[in-house]
Chains A and B, each alone.
Chain A
Amino acid sequence: MIKSKSLKRFNQIVRRSDVLVNVDFSVLLATKTTMQTRESTRVDAAPNRADDTALLQMRGIVKTFPGVQALKAVDFDVRRGEVHALVGENGAGKSTLMKILSGVYQADAGEIIFKGEPVRFRTPRQAQDAGIVTIYQELNQVPYLSVTENIFLGSEWERGGLLDWQGMHQEARRLLAKLHLDIDPRVPVNSLGVGRQQMVEVAKALHHKADLIIMDEPTSSLSVREIDDLFAIIAELKAEGVAIIYISHHLEETFAIADRTSILRDGRRITTQPASELTVERLIQLMVGRDLAEQFPKEIAPRGKEMLRVEGLRRAGKLHDISFSAYAGEILGIAGLVGAGRTELVRAIFGADPIDSGRIYVEGKEVRIRSPRDAARHGIALLTEDRKTQGLVLLMSVRDNMTLAALGRLTRGLFTNARQEQAIADSFIENLAIKTPSQQQLVMNLSGGNQQKIVLAKWMATNPKVLIFDEPTRGIDVGAKVEIYRLMNELARRGVAILMISSELPEVLGMSDRIMVIHEGRVAGFLNRDEASQERIMELATGMAAAEIERSKLFEASVA
């Protein structure tokens, strides 16, 4: 019953999605909800029914990493021929759970029952052999090898000790045909578009006779057309009894194709419900677990003098004539679609990327910025979107990371001043409420929220005038997010100009005094806090007319 109903809706949406551009609608819908009811956040305590159709059962899965308990006794089950959506905020534990299932990680406790038998996968290969195949967000392909070679990688057919090319090409062709793909299996995969590469992964899963396919954000880099195709194929796989675990931030997709939806939050499974019984509002509520006002503790600070002015910034192919100002006490949100040039813009201001032309003024004085070093000297700081690869030296201690950018000022003569460094680290650990056993702890052992605070401390130690945050709360759990927001308030109050890039529109709307929207490397417009809304931002970000956005509200149409 449920199945046929959701399938119908699914088909309806597949058809509708033709008119859509590839926009993250989940965020568009997120703030439409005010989310004031809190009773809804209670944990579903009902035990898992072990019904006959259960393909997979995970029970009491626990996983601890240094500094964080990623999974706290999670139960999760999948039935044959089911599309099971797994949703949750960043850091909720989705990826960890799936990595345990696919043999990348081993659980600290708990059991996995697959096809009626207890299993324990020590390597991805074992999971694959058992019939669980994962299609990762970043494709795991060898770019220069052919489609056939990629499909058969690790399970090549041989005849008389030599590779059986004919047989393999034939089989590859059969698999591709099954997916309605017109691809020559002899071409290298990197000659295909991202969408088709994804399909090759699906073909590979079919080749491994997968009973369960895990799709981790499969649509993140697909066009509308390709999403369409993918959904059609998922429907066919379902019909053949293949189960699919579907992870996506695009909530409307999960409504489109899922039979059931499980929600994870802070390492716990909050509930599993038939998708037809959920609404987007309810889903977000369950995911976030708190209402918006609590989530974004915005304080308005008095707007002071101009701290940063950018005039006519250009970089061929990336940035086109960008001009704006940021003021003391202000949080200037920078919104835009992925790839619109937001990160490129702040990297250019920070001197991390070269620019073709443009002027930058700090406190009214023109400055020449050719390297991050120049930027730091002029009081500009950048918290990069990827903490681990660009923000922190994971192998160094908390203290050494905190003083890294300011070390030039912490030296006495030739030597570093250990006492002063200690004092600075102590004060930051206390003021930013950083949870660490000691200053000497290696930052790699801390949680995402604490790591982000350390990056923030590193820049605060330099007394910056302009602080740029690129995705400040990515991969941080909810409680730590609020703490980061409070620190942003505090910095604004002290007269720092803050630039904040965020892909999460609720965050942009919740924390910004003013919002600059970037579209294809150009400033599409500015919105004041009181006039900003998701619709206005998306309008500018996509270059779409308001009416079209209205029309393309996929989800609302589909549930109505």
Chain B
Amino acid sequence: MSETTISAPGERGETLQVLRRALAATGPLLVLLLLIGILWVLSPPFRSPTSLMLLGLEAAAIGVVAAGQTFVILTGGIDLSVEAMVSFAGVTAAILIAGTNVAGGQIAFGISDWQAVLIALTAGLSIGMFQGLIITGMNMNPLIVTLGFRSMLLGVSLVWTRGAGINIQKGPFLNFVTSTIDLFGLRVPMPFVIVLVIYFLLWIVLKHTKFGRYTYAIGGNETATRLSGINVDRVKVFIYGISGLLAAVGGILVMSRLQSGAYQNGTNMTLISVAAVVIGGTALSGGIGGIWGTLIGVFIIRVVEAGLVYMSVPSNAKEIVIGAIIVLAVALDVIRRGDVKWLRFNRLRT
């Protein structure tokens, strides 16, 4: 009877599993440290505090966006609209602050920056939730819905700006957002602090709330979760809402740093966010993963990019490397699942 045979293979499986989980958890971190180490040795300019600060700043906006993407991917979905949302939120806030319409034409109102930001974030949340409503209510594929919204949001941004950036003067709120905190002589950029706070809150949500548990459960087995009496649709609507909101936060961070709301603000962020999530150990099929891995994934990508700069690789070649990383990340995901026959040794799941 299998009941009695469970202990022997089970226990061995258990220790193996703990080992594999530890590897899955620390693997990306080790890669990141390795990359930093290599860059540290090879490139003296990288060792300056400024370049570290810059790294934190570079990671901020995409970090927030990728955090939202993590939630969506954990449920087994995907949000391709995030880069458009980054642009859209930035453009919206910029227009409201500058009181500038298309091509510099002055319109009647310019409102204070915190109000503008609040409106942009609300828009991000509502548009995200609206996508969630369409996906769950009409049982549509998130890939298509969010791809459609990507186009629409980019289109709106383009129309509102006529393709040009809308420049703003920062008010007190945005000045605060772009300031730095002095920590043991290291000037830590405020956006990075914001990212850390957001990640900590999201970690609490994933680990210690019903909502977080349901997020994993839906990704693991949506049918079983629904049949356990859980309102799966409502959870998913909020998931897409969170993704929209966080993408909008990312949009504000980009816009405030550039002091300009333009439709290109979010370029490439969808791909990079998905890559960061996958590199960080979250399965594209959902149900497995976590938020901190994503942050590490973001840093891995940013360090590689920085490395290319310090190694004087022409910036045009950057795209090639990023593309390769993304394919590699997905390959990693497949290998982790043990789906590659000739790479069975690397099974982390079973």
Contacts and interface: CB of A to CB of B under 8 A. Distances in A.
B228 A404 contact: yes
B180 interface: no
15 contacts: A64-B9, A66-B9, A67-B9, A91-B2, A389-B223, A393-B221, A395-B288, A400-B217, A414-B209, A436-B6, A444-B350, A445-B10, A447-B2, A449-B3, A477-B3
B10 A390 contact: no
B216 interface: yes
Contact of B231 (A352, A373, A392): A373
Interface string B1-29: 11101110111011001000000000000
Contacts of A448: 2
A450 B3 contact: yes
A418 B213 CA distance: 12
A450 B1 CA distance: 12
Given A372-B226, A389-B223, A396 B216 contact: yes
Contacts of A534: none
Interface residues of A, number: 56
A384 interface: yes
A266 interface: yes
B138 interface: no
B229 interface: yes
A180 B231 CA distance: 54
A394 interface: yes
Nearest to A441: B14
B229 A376 contact: yes
Interface in A363-392: 371-373, 375-377, 382, 384, 389-392
Nearest to B207: A416
A371 B232 CA distance: 11
A395 B288 CA distance: 7
A66 B10 contact: yes
Contacts of A445: 10, 13, 17, 350
- Which residue, of B10, B11, B214, B228, has the highest number of chain A Cβ atoms within 10 A? B228
B9 A69 contact: yes
A266 B1 contact: yes
**Top 7 nearest A-B pairs by Cβ distance?**
A376-B229, A393-B220, A68-B2, A447-B2, A405-B228, A395-B220, A479-B1
Interface of B: 1-3, 5-7, 9-11, 13-14, 17, 204, 208-210, 213-214, 216-217, 219-221, 223-231, 287-288, 349-350
Given A376-B228, A404-B213, A408-B210, A394 B220 contact: yes
Nearest to A418: B208
A390 B223 contact: yes
Given A395-B349, A396-B217, A441-B10, 5 more contacts: A372-B228, A395-B216, A445-B13, A446-B6, A446-B10
Nearest to B288: A395
Contacts of B208: 415-416, 418
Contacts of A411: 209-210
A438 interface: yes
A363 to B, nearest CB: 18
Nearest to B285: A395
A554 to B, nearest CB: 33
A472 to B, nearest CB: 15
A69 B8 CA distance: 10
A7 interface: no
Contact of A389 (B221, B231, B288): B221
Contacts of B5: 68-69
B224 A393 contact: yes
A442 interface: yes
Contacts of B231: 371, 373
A88 B3 CA distance: 18
A390 to B, nearest CB: 5
A437 interface: yes
